[in-house]
């Protein structure tokens, strides 16, 4: 990560909403222009204070979906009070943002496989851009319950990267789980060593992805999500079990982990 003009790497900044777009199915795109831009890497996240006051009290964490011309885009599903308020924000409204937070994705292999389940696609667009810019040949594997849960067609299709879909009801792509697509990639690969896996989605999916990748000897990164209070590594409210004992913090040690760091359920 590049350094900012002064010594502090992170910022609490006011940010102006520049786009608020419902995508149907409770999914939503929100873009903002921070007063003080920060240098970010794919996989990092932001903490949004959806409004002043004490309800809701805590910030909400969102992975960075895309960064373009200094503006940061979030992709989220409305799940409760905080996200409902976010969805009610209009272009021109001001939010208070902490960014950038956490450890992002690594360099990846020659052929990074980007694996997303449902809203887990959120950090993968920025990652795809970054890998393309680095001269890699990323592929995208997306899964969801139905076609409605497969997001960002347009944003990915203009990148023209090989993309496969799996839905549980067969409404788009293969019928089944995204993990089956990953198995196919492993089987078809000429050189497993060229692959790397970068996954985000529900924990059972990530656990299955991690098992497959480890079985095939392919490097695998996972991006975890968690309820958080501080987002800075202080409150210890967002931990997950680590494979070598104890806990790791999703916010500060992650949210992107080597899949081998995690003790999967």
Report the residue from 8, 36, 162, 170 that binds other proteins according to the rule CB under 8 A: 8
Closer of 8 and 153 to other proteins (Cβ): 8
Cα atoms in the 13 Å half-sphere on the side-chain side of 56 = 15
Site size for other proteins, by CB under 8 A?
Answer: 30
Contact window for other proteins (CB under 8 A) among 122-130, 168-176, 196-204, 244-252:
244-252
Report the residue from 192, 207, 229, 263 that binds other proteins according to the rule CB under 8 A: 229
Report the residue from 46, 200, 252, 262 that binds other proteins according to the rule CB under 8 A: 252
Question: Closest distance between other proteins and the C-beta of residue 198, in Å?
Answer: 24
My answer on whether omega of the bond before 255 falls inside 30° of 0, hence cis, is yes
Give Dmax (Cα) for the chain.
56
Contact window for other proteins (CB under 8 A) among 134-142, 154-162, 171-179, 246-254:
246-254
44 contacts: CB under 8 Å, gap ≥ 6: 63, 64, 99, 100, 101, 102, 103, 104
If binding is defined by CB under 8 A, does position 169 make contact with other proteins? no
Closer of 55 and 158 to other proteins (Cβ): 55
Burial state string for 154-171 with b = 16 or more CB within 10 A and e = fewer than 16: ebbeeeebebbbbbeeee
Report the residue from 57, 133, 158, 188 that binds other proteins according to the rule CB under 8 A: 57
Cα separation of 31 and 240, whole Å?
30
Q: What is the DSSP letter of 121?
A: G
How far is residue 179 CA from its own chain's centroid? 17
If binding is defined by CB under 8 A, does position 1 make contact with other proteins? no
Report the residue from 194, 203, 235, 263 that binds other proteins according to the rule CB under 8 A: 235
Strand order in the sheet with 71-77: 60-63, 45-49, 94-101, 11-24, 27-34, 71-77, 66-68
Cα separation of 211 and 205, whole Å?
10
Closer of 102 and 144 to other proteins (Cβ): 102
- Output the six-digit token pair for 259: 């899949």
Closer of 137 and 234 to other proteins (Cβ): 234
Task: Please check whether residue 36 is in contact with residue 173, taking contact to mean a CB–CB distance below 8 angstroms.
Answer: no
Paired with 96 in beta bridges are 14, 49
If binding is defined by CB under 8 A, does position 84 make contact with other proteins? no
| Sites for other proteins among residues 92-151 (CB under 8 A) | 96, 98
Report the residue from 26, 56, 106, 202 that binds other proteins according to the rule CB under 8 A: 56
If binding is defined by CB under 8 A, does position 26 make contact with other proteins? no
If binding is defined by CB under 8 A, does position 198 make contact with other proteins? no
Applying CB under 8 A, which residues contact other proteins? 8-12, 49, 54-59, 96, 98, 227-230, 232-240, 246-247, 252
């Amino acid at each position: 990560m590049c350094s900012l003009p002064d010594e502090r790497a992170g910022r609490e900044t006011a940010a102006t909403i520049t786009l608020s777009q419902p995508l149907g199915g409770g999914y939503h795109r929100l873009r903002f222009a921070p007063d003080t831009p920060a240098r970010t890497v794919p996989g990092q996240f932001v903490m949004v204070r959806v409004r002043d006051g004490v309800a809701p009290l805590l910030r909400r964490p969102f992975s960075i979906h895309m960064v373009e011309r200094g503006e940061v885009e979030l992709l989220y599903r409305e799940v409760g009070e905080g996200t409902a308020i976010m969805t009610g924000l209009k272009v021109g409204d001001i939010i208070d943002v902490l960014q950038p937070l956490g450890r992002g994705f690594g360099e990846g292999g020659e052929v990074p496989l980007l694996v997303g389940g449902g809203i887990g696609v959120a950090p993968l667009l920025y990652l795809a851009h970054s890998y393309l810019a680095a001269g890699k040949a990323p592929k995208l594997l997306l899964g969801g319950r139905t076609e409605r849960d497969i997001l960002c067609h347009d944003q990915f299709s203009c990148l023209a990267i090989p993309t496969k879909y799996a839905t549980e009801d067969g409404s788009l792509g293969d019928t089944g789980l995204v993990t089956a697509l990953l198995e196919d990639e492993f089987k078809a690969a000429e050189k497993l060593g060229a692959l790397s896996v970068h996954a985000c989605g529900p924990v059972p999916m990530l656990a299955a992805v991690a098992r497959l990748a480890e079985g095939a000897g392919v490097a695998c990164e996972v991006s975890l999500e968690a309820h958080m209070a501080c987002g800075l590594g202080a409150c210890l409210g967002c931990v997950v079990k680590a494979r070598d004992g104890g806990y790791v913090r999703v916010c500060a040690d992650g949210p992107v982990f080597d899949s081998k760091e995690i003790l999967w359920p």
